[in-house]
Structure 1
Amino acid sequence: MGKFCVNTSGAKGSQALLKLIINTRGWKEEPCDTDVGDVFWAVTVEDIEARLRRKKPQQRLAKIPGMTSLCNKVPFARMMKSLENADLYWPHTWILPDDTIPKSAFTKKGALIYKPDGGTQGDGIFILLSAADLENRLSNMRGQTGIVQRYLSHPMLLGGKYKFDFRLYVLIASLDPLRVYLCREGLVRVCSDPYEKPASGNQHKVSSHLTNYSLNKYTSNYVHSDDPHDGAHGSKRTLSSVLTHLQEGGLVEREKLWQQIAALVGDTCAGLAEELCGPRERVASLWPRGELTPNQRRTCLGILGFDVMLDQSGRPFLLEVNCNPSLDTDTVYPIEGPDAQPVPALPSADTPDGQLAHAALAFIRGRGEKPCRCMKHHRPHLHRPCLVDLVTKFAVVNGALDIVRADKRAAKGG
């Protein structure tokens, strides 16, 4: 059996991480748009369609047809309404413009939050405190769709001050039979400003209410942390370190919480699979070709990002599922203007984490030394490996590829 081969021609922003893993593992990379590869990384709908037409039955595609549409806010909310136990972990949700939101929804239970159907990275999200806020949002929708959810007004806070959420990574290795893997490592994204219960004076302060890195990285209070073992500091931390920190502080029972998270992931993935393996007319709204073939259900796989938040009692709530979670492993340091920050040295290459960081540098834009003006920051900046991202996402993608590789060996009887 030849070297395990990953075709990265359609990998887009995931290419740097894939190259690092392939190089580290001694596998083979096919960077060109050929039909060579055991698994093909794809991002765009066009690439997915083209690869499905060309791939051989035994080849794997690292994207599930229709998942992109299904994970948009409205289709996903409709699916969640059909799940029997979703109310245990899914905030009460209304679909706009279909559902009527009663004025009684604005009660002592707290605020609501509006999310546009195709929104990502926190774009277009608004906190609603009153029926007037809702009416204003409805008047600006202009035929668009979206959802309104019950806002978790009493979240668990890190350090007693900062709102946070978990970005969990889930591999659906096949739809039929359904095979789901939840990675033990993930990210914890922390707001850069202290949390305040939503009120008219702070409802627009996104750095207190929304954890998205894409929003918080622009604030002067964003704290870069390069220690994946420190669960007490930084605006982005590893899941494993934070779970340890929370358990040591008596805020969670780690294994009990993990069982609850695994249950909500399993229920949600079962719902996703049921939608995508359903009758042709239902699937057609998600995937233009309609019904997925038995081979596509078995050989297409996907890494999903589950965003989960804990309330003050430690109960997990699913906020949304991202079908295309970022696999970037760099962070940006502005080098000009009021937000300019000193760029720390890489950790020693004598440690496992340091070895990984130094290896990643070869695949980072500008190799970490050349000033950049790309869209990742509005000021000149440097790209450097972020060990928190690197350790987490290396584990996620390396683990997923190991599962694909094991499937290949099993199929060949060895």
Structure 2
Amino acid sequence: MSPDNNLKCKYVVDLEKSCLLNNFEKRGWIPTSLENGDWNFYWCAVHNLKNLFGIESTIRMNDNQLVNHFPNHYELCRKDLMVKNIKRYRKEMERNDHWLAEKDSDGNYVHLDIVPSTYLLPADYNLFAEDFKRHPNSTWIMKPCGKARGIGIFLINKLSQLKKWANARTNIPQQTTRDTYVISRYINNPLLIGGKKFDLRIYVLVTSFRPLKAYVYKMGFCRFCTVKYNHSTSDLDNLFVHLTNVSIQKNADDYNAQHGGKWTLESLRLYLSSTHGSAKTDNMFDDINWLILHSLKSVAWIMNSDKHCFEIYGFDVLIDDKLKPWLIEVNASPSLSATTANDRIMKYSVIKDALSILFYDREVPDSRADKNPPRSSFGQYELLYDEEAEKAEQEGSKPSSKKTTQRGASRLRGTGRPAPTTWK
């Protein structure tokens, strides 16, 4: 780092988290205030984005300023918009007769079946009711569109329960009409370890949406429930059985504060390799990368890819007992609070390695600079997809046949990661 303070990055932070502040201090960055406008890096809370990008905002960022959110990040992170955009993406593929839109004999997408059947309530109630009647023994999970940490989530297996909930909402004082929910088919055959349900938290760094460039972090973790899973309908109200959110599980009697109910992804890979074999395990992680990629592609067209922005997303993925991954939700502000010592180390590294990619050859950001850092700056990130490189490769080679561009042929089997420049 240069001793000249004029070359030091000046930062503003809305969240006083040790994994952020320790990284900034280690880099020799200088804290400053947002008001004076003399800042280079702003770690912004999502509710303060309007101060930067709102219609009434008078702030105009210059070339050496960088912020950690895209203006309309919610297109991927609001539960209703995420599903809406993925559905639109699949329909667009169908209209273009793209092989990605292929369906099986039951009408399910072969390549893009990445989210459970989901409806928006109250708008899609009739469509949901028809689906429910076709599958009368199914269980569904209700989630408020704009909340996180498991707040407001519950399960139902009868239409009468939904009607009771709807009637109760009409009697709540100051109930807003914008308080919408999504209802999704509950994955009732989750992969269990030690009899307990779990999901995966995977970190993804996006430095640009147009062209799309994304990195996936190798050191995510699994979040376990504290109570063993069962299919009994009498336990639908027991959130310690069904929801993996740490904010919920930490209140359980059996919560272990030492390990926080978490496993590393490396531990999961070793376990699955020993129980299901390396080939199936690698294929599952490859499918997770596929799921992440196409969820990002589904919003790339609508995302305001401001050159001053980047994003570290927290993808929540559930694995069923057939080792099929399902996208549950995406977080624009994944928790940076540490619940264990290992948690603290990992989250510090998530930020450290992201900053190494963003600042790989400079002291302060430069939105005009080339966004192709060397692999040596990736740390624990892996390049998931580089749209610009893919286009360059296509322009420099002959068009491939459909057979050679099929999903299976475009992946690096046995590595658990995609081929960055050939995925379609």
Normalised by the shorter chain, which TM-score bucket? 0.7 to 0.9
Q: Structure 1 residue 273: deviation in Å?
A: 2.0
When residues 19 and 79 of structure 1 are mapped into structure 2, their CA distance, relative to the original with a 3 A threshold, is: same
Q: Which of 139, 151, 160 is matched with 1:111 structurally?
A: 139
- The residue that corresponds to 2:218 in the other structure is 184
- How many equivalent pairs are there? 330
Q: How does 1:162-201 map to 2 (within 5 A)?
A: 162-199=196-233, 201=234
Maintained 8 Å contact 2:140/2:186? yes
Q: Following the alignment from structure 2 to structure 1, what is the Cα–Cα distance between the partners of residues 346 and 201?
A: 10
Q: Following the alignment from structure 1 to structure 2, what is the Cα–Cα distance between the partners of residues 72 and 181?
A: 21
Maintained 8 Å contact 2:141/2:183? yes
- RMSD over equivalenced CA pairs, Å: 2.7
Please state if 1:55 is matched with 2:58. Answer: no
Q: Structure 1 residue 122: deviation in Å?
A: 0.5
Please state if 1:314 is matched with 2:342. Answer: no
When residues 37 and 405 of structure 1 are mapped into structure 2, their CA distance, relative to the original with a 3 A threshold, is: farther
When residues 6 and 324 of structure 1 are mapped into structure 2, their CA distance, relative to the original with a 3 A threshold, is: farther
- The residue that corresponds to 1:130 in the other structure is 158
Q: Structure 1 residue 297: deviation in Å?
A: 2.0
When residues 6 and 90 of structure 1 are mapped into structure 2, their CA distance, relative to the original with a 3 A threshold, is: farther
Q: Following the alignment from structure 1 to structure 2, what is the Cα–Cα distance between the partners of residues 205 and 149?
A: 18
Q: Structure 1 residue 42: deviation in Å?
A: 0.7
- TM-score, with normalisation over the residues of structure 2? 0.71
Maintained 8 Å contact 2:203/2:314? yes
Matched-pair identity in %: 25
Q: Structure 1 residue 109: deviation in Å?
A: 5.9
When residues 267 and 256 of structure 1 are mapped into structure 2, their CA distance, relative to the original with a 3 A threshold, is: same
Deviations 1:308-337 (A, max 9, x none): 0000011000001111111112x3xxxxxx
Please state if 1:254 is matched with 2:271. Answer: no
Please state if 1:300 is matched with 2:300. Answer: no
Deviations 1:49-106 (A, max 9, x none): 3388242123211111111365222222211211226751110001111112225526
What secondary structure sits across from 1:118 in the alignment?
A: coil
When residues 235 and 6 of structure 1 are mapped into structure 2, their CA distance, relative to the original with a 3 A threshold, is: farther
Q: Structure 1 residue 8: deviation in Å?
A: 4.5
Maintained 8 Å contact 1:90/1:318? yes
Q: Following the alignment from structure 2 to structure 1, what is the Cα–Cα distance between the partners of residues 345 and 232?
A: 34
Q: Which of 22, 45, 52 is matched with 1:20 structurally?
A: 22
Maintained 8 Å contact 2:33/2:39? no
Q: Which of 68, 79, 84 is matched with 2:85 structurally?
A: 79
Q: Following the alignment from structure 1 to structure 2, what is the Cα–Cα distance between the partners of residues 412 and 172?
A: 16
What secondary structure sits across from 1:171 in the alignment?
A: strand
Q: Structure 1 residue 193: deviation in Å?
A: 0.6
What secondary structure sits across from 2:202 in the alignment?
A: strand
Maintained 8 Å contact 1:126/1:204? yes
- TM-score, with normalisation over the residues of structure 1? 0.73
Q: Following the alignment from structure 1 to structure 2, what is the Cα–Cα distance between the partners of residues 162 and 23?
A: 40
What secondary structure sits across from 1:298 in the alignment?
A: coil
What secondary structure sits across from 1:110 in the alignment?
A: coil
Q: Following the alignment from structure 2 to structure 1, what is the Cα–Cα distance between the partners of residues 162 and 243?
A: 19
What secondary structure sits across from 2:349 in the alignment?
A: helix
Q: Letter of the 1:105 partner, please give it.
A: F
- The residue that corresponds to 1:400 in the other structure is 354
Q: Which runs of 5+ in 2 are unaligned?
A: 91-99, 101-108, 171-176, 374-424
Q: Which moved more, 1:32-41 or 1:255-264?
A: 32-41
